[in-house]
Amino acid sequence: MLCTQALLSPTRLHCKLHRLLQYRKRAIMELRQGAGGTQELRSTLQSYRIRVKPDKTGVVTDGVKHSMNPFCEIAVEEAVRLKEKKLVKEVIAVSCGPSQCQETIRTALAMGADRGIHVEVSAAEADRLGPLQVARVLAKLAEKEKVNLVLLGKQAIDDDCNQTGQMTAGFLDWPQGTFASQLTLEGDKLKVEREIDGGLETVRLKLPAVVTADLRLNEPRYATLPNIMKAKKKKIEVLKAGDLGVDLTSKISVISVEDPPQRTAGVKVETTEDLVAKLREIGRI
């Protein structure tokens, strides 16, 4: 059985912030595998203006449709491909957050996941949900569903934490293969080619294991209209964190979210001497 985590914290599901708008010139065209409301989100996100809440606790997400994190989209695609090769029996898509997260789960179901699990969290709690809490939820679900492979994106593209996969593996005491660019199942072992600063590294993991997907692992598919319609009939089980015995209390609080400072106008100089003089004037050299 394969449990693939199309999982992000609610803020990540609400909008991808600045980096989402950049990253997704490719991914946005398939938007979370192009499934159900994701296709609509493509144009919404591209035109969405990021605004900070008046109380500076976060960004305004009202009216923004949910989508899947691009790296998690790649993880879902890889899980579906493994199932198509008859290497796994079932793909379970999981998301944690408010009720709107079910849109994202439907996207994964339209791509080919068999069923979904929604760990429902109130909007207020969702704003404080971090990698540690999400990892606890995933670990409990992996034990509950008796899966032998957890696939998820290497990081969310809003906060770039890159922590959920590693923490999940830690809670489960399973081996992990992060930043995967190639994945091969070899019986009860998993060969993972992973991207590192110096190039590529190949590791072999004994199942059960946790794997996080990097950008070059695959190219996610578009969900076809028939599959989008079929996804509406697939089961999504709704749970509470308490049902899993998980405490979502966060020990981290956001002090303030600020708009980036406005860039001042540049100054044009005619010669190198003028440039040096200007830099000295403003104390840069």
Which pLDDT score, from 0 to 100, does residue 57 have?
83
Other Cβ atoms less than 10 A from the Cβ of 197: the count is 5
The reported pLDDT for the residue numbered 27 is 34
Neighbours of 90 (CB within 10 A): 15
pLDDT at 111: 96
pTM of the entire structure?
Answer: 0.76
pLDDT at 252 (0 to 100): 85
Tell me, rounded to whole angstroms, the distance of Cα 263 from its chain centroid: 30
**Which one, of 9, 15, 78, lies nearest residue 52 by Cα?**
15
What is the predicted pLDDT for the residue at 6? Answer: 36
Q: What is the pLDDT of residue 124?
A: 79
> Over the range 210-240, which residues count as b (16 or more CB within 10 Å of their CB) and which as e?
bbbbbbebbebbbbeeebbeebeebebeebe
Q: What is the pLDDT of residue 114?
A: 95
- Ranges of beta strands (E only) in the chain are 2-5, 91-97, 115-120, 149-153, 176-186, 189-196, 199-206, 209-213, 236-240
Q: What does the pLDDT look like over 12-38, one tens digit per residue? A: 333 333 333 333 333 333 333 333 333
**In which residue ranges of the chain is pLDDT below 70?**
1-48, 66
Place of tokens 């606890």: 136
pLDDT tens-digit map of 32-67: 333 333 333 333 344 567 788 899 888 887 777 767
- Residues 35/107, Cβ–Cβ less than 8 Å: yes
